[in-house]
C-alpha cells in the first residue's frame, strides 16, 4: 500500500503546480507517468539500500530536489531551511563564513570575488580562483549549495581550501578561519589626491555589494562629496558580486533621470517580461562626468549598473569584461521552510545586450596582472592606509584607476575649452 499512497501524494502535489504552469507534453514526457517511476525508485531504495539511516523520505526527497535544481544551471538550487535563512541574512549584510562569493563554472565552485575585509580577501584569494578541494574533499561532484554549507558555519572554525588559479596554473592551499562577516557596502568615499586629479576635484566611491542599505549609503556619500566641490566621479564596482536587484536599480537612480529604464528581464512566460526603471521621484543632483571601474569579479547587480550607465551614455566604463552572471532567480519558500531558487529569466541592458555568459565589456579595456591585482587588494585589506601610501599604490599598481582618472580629466578639459564657444553660439 505504501507505493500507491506515495505515488498518489506526489501526483496530487504535481497536479496543484501543473494547473499554474502547463508546458507542452508528449507521451514520453508525461508528468504522471514519470512521478510514478520516481515513487517506485524511492520505495526500492528505502526497501533494499544497505545503509538504512540514509533512506528516510526527508533525506531522499531533499537529495532528489537538490539534484533536480542543480541539473538545470549553475545558479538554480534547493535550499533547506537553514540554507534559506543564510540567504536571507546575506541581504542584511551579515553572516558567518570566509567572505567568498562563489558560483559554479566549468563544473567547479569558482570564486566570483573575495569580499573586502574578510578572511578570504586578506589571504589573497582572487576572482576566478577555482576551488579544487575543501578540507581535503574533492569538489568535482559537489553541488554549489553543499560547497557553500561547508564554507559557512560558526565563526572560529578553520577551513582548508585548495585552489587553482587559471591565469597562472598555480595550485595553492589556504587555511582560513571563519569569522562574522559584516559588509559595509559603500567604502572609500573621498576626493582623490590633487597629485592624481590635477586641477580638478575627482571623487571616488567603491561599492562592495548591493544590499538593502546600499543606495541610501551611496546617496549620503555623494551628498558629502558634492559639498566638498566634487566635479567628477570614479565609481568602483571591481570585485562587486552583486546582490539585490532593487538595490542596483536604486543605485542607478542616483545618476539617471526619473523613470529611466535600466534593465529588463525576459523569460518563457509573460509574468517574467519586466522593465525595471528608476524611481519617479527626482533626486536633485548635478550631472558630473563619471567613470565606472569593472573587472572579472563584477557580477550580477554590478553588471546591471555598469551596463545601464554605459548604454545610456551616463558613464565611461573602464577595466575588464565582467563575470557574466545575468540571470534572474526566483526564490519560492516551501511549506517546511525550505526553498527552491530557479532561473526564470535573463537580464538585458537598455540596448538589449544579454549579460548572462557575456558580461559587460568596457569602453576602455585596461587589464591588470595577477600580481598587480593581488598586491592592490591585499593592501586594501591591510587597513590604516595613509593617503600618501595610497597615492603611490595607485601609481604603481592600479592602471585601471589611472586610466579612469585620465579619461575624466580629458572630458573636463574638453568641456572647459568648449564652454566659451557654446555661450557665444547661444548669444
Residue 311 among the catalytic residues? yes
- Whole-model pTM? 0.74
| Alpha-helical runs (H) found in 81-118 | 81-91
For residue 360, name the pLDDT band (cuts at 50, 70, 90): very high
Q: Is pLDDT above 90 for 153?
A: no
Between CA 311 and CA 79, with CA 326 as vertex, the angle to 5 degrees is 155
Contacts of 218 (CB under 8 A, 6+ apart): 186, 205, 207, 251, 254
pLDDT of residue 389 exceeding 70, the answer is no
Q: Which of 250, 325, 327, 398 is catalytic?
A: 325
pLDDT given at position 29 = 74
**Torsions phi, psi of 95, nearest 5?**
-165, 170
pLDDT at 343 over 80: yes
The reported pLDDT for the residue numbered 316 is: 97
Given a cut of 70, whether residue 84 has pLDDT beyond it is yes
**Would you place residue 93 in the very low, low, confident or very high pLDDT band (cuts 50, 70, 90)?**
low
Q: What is the mean pLDDT of residues 14-29?
A: 54
The pLDDT value recorded for residue 391 is 73
The pLDDT tens digits for 236-258 are 999 898 988 899 999 999 999 99
Q: What does the DSSP assignment read for 173-227?
A: EEEEE-EEEE--SEEEEEEPPHHHHTTS-EEEEEE--B-TTHHHHHHHHHHHHHH
* Better-predicted residue by pLDDT, 395 or 265: 265
Task: Say yes or no to pLDDT of 95 above 80.
Answer: no
Is residue 375 flagged as an active site residue?
no
Question: 185 and 241 in contact (C-beta within 8 Å)?
Answer: no
Annotated active-site residue in 70, 197, 247, 300: 300
Q: Average model confidence (pLDDT) for the chain?
A: 85
pLDDT for residue 293 = 98
Catalytic-residue membership of 300:
yes
**pLDDT of 89:** 63
Mean pLDDT computed over 111-125: 84
Indicate whether 8 pLDDT > 70.
no
Which backbone phi and psi does 83 adopt, to 5 degrees?
Answer: -60, -40
- The rounded percent of the chain whose pLDDT value lies above 70 is 86
Q: Where in the chain do CATH 2.30.42.10 domains reside?
A: 81-92+94-182
Q: What separation in angstroms does the CA of 234 have from each of 17, 37, 164, 275, 286?
A: 48, 58, 32, 27, 15
pLDDT band at 18 (very low <50, low <70, confident <90, very high): very low
State how far the Cα of 279 lies from the Cα of 94, in Å rounded to an integer.
27
Name residue, grid cell 569569522. 179
**Please, where in the chain does CATH 3.90.226.10 lie?**
186-417
Are the beta carbons of 101 and 115 closer than 8 angstroms? yes
Task: Tell me if residue 77 falls in helix, strand or coil.
Answer: strand
The CATH code belonging to domain 81-92+94-182 is 2.30.42.10
CB 121 within 8 A of CB 99: yes
60-64, 86-90, 202-206: lowest mean pLDDT where?
A: 86-90
State what percent of residues in the chain have pLDDT above 90: 48
Task: Provide CATH code, domain 186-417.
Answer: 3.90.226.10
Residues 177-224: tens digit of each pLDDT: 998 877 788 988 999 999 999 999 999 999 988 988 899 999 999 999
pLDDT band at 410; cut points 50, 70, 90: very high
Spot the catalytic one: 86, 250, 311, 398: 311
Amino acid at each position: 500500500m505504501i507505493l500507491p499512497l506515495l505515488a498518489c501524494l506526489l501526483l496530487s502535489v504535481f497536479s496543484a503546480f501543473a494547473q499554474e504552469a502547463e508546458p507542452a507534453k508528449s507521451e514520453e514526457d508525461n508528468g504522471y507517468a514519470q512521478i510514478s517511476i520516481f515513487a517506485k525508485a524511492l520505495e526500492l531504495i528505502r526497501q533494499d539500500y544497505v545503509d538504512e539511516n540514509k533512506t528516510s523520505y526527508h533525506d531522499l526527497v531533499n537529495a532528489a530536489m537538490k539534484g533536480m535544481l542543480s541539473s538545470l544551471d549553475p545558479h538554480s538550487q534547493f535550499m533547506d531551511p537553514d540554507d534559506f535563512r543564510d540567504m536571507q541574512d546575506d541581504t542584511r549584510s551579515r553572516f558567518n563564513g570566509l567572505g567568498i562569493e562563489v558560483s559554479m563554472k566549468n563544473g567547479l565552485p569558482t570564486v566570483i570575488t573575495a569580499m573586502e575585509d574578510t578572511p578570504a580577501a586578506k589571504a589573497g584569494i582572487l576572482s576566478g580562483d577555482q576551488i579544487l578541494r575543501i578540507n581535503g574533499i574533492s569538489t568535482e561532484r559537489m553541488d554549489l549549495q553543499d560547497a557553500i554549507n561547508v564554507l559557512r558555519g560558526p565563526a572560529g572554525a578553520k577551513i582548508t581550501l585548495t585552489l587553482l588559479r587559471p591565469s597562472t596554473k598555480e595550485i595553492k592551499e589556504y587555511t582560513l578561519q571563519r569569522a562574522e562577516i559584516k559588509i559595509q557596502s559603500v567604502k572609500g568615499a573621498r576626493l582623490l589626491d590633487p597629485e592624481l586629479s590635477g586641477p580638478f576635484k575627482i571623487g571616488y566611491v567603491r561599492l562592495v555589494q548591493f544590499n538593502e542599505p546600499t543606495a541610501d549609503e551611496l546617496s549620503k556619500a555623494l551628498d558629502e562629496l558634492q559639498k566638498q566641490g566634487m566635479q567628477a566621479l570614479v565609481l568602483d564596482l571591481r570585485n562587486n558580486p552583486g546582490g539585490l536587484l532593487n538595490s542596483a536599480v536604486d543605485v542607478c537612480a542616483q545618476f539617471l533621470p526619473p523613470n529611466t529604464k535600466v534593465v529588463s528581464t525576459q523569460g518563457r512566460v509573460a509574468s517574467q517580461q519586466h522593465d525595471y526603471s528608476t524611481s519617479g521621484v527626482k533626486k536633485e543632483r548635478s550631472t558630473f562626468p563619471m567613470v565606472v571601474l569593472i573587472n572579472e569579479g563584477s557580477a550580477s547587480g554590478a553588471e546591471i549598473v555598469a551596463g545601464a550607465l554605459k548604454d545610456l551614455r551616463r558613464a565611461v566604463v573602464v577595466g575588464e569584461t565582467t563575470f557574466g552572471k545575468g540571470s534572474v532567480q526566483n526564490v519560492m519558500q516551501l511549506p517546511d521552510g525550505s526553498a527552491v531558487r530557479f532561473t526564470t529569466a535573463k537580464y538585458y541592458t537598455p540596448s538589449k545586450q544579454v549579460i548572462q555568459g557575456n558580461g559587460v565589456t568596457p569602453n576602455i579595456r585596461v587589464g591588470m596582472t595577477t600580481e598587480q591585482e593581488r598586491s592592490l587588494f591585499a593592501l586594501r585589506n591591510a587597513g590604516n592606509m595613509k593617503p600618501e601610501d595610497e597615492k603611490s599604490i595607485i601609481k604603481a599598481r592600479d592602471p585601471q584607476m589611472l586610466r579612469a582618472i585620465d579619461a575624466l580629466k580629458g572630458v573636463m578639459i574638453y568641456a572647459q575649452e568648449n564652454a566659451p564657444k557654446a555661450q557665444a553660439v547661444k548669444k
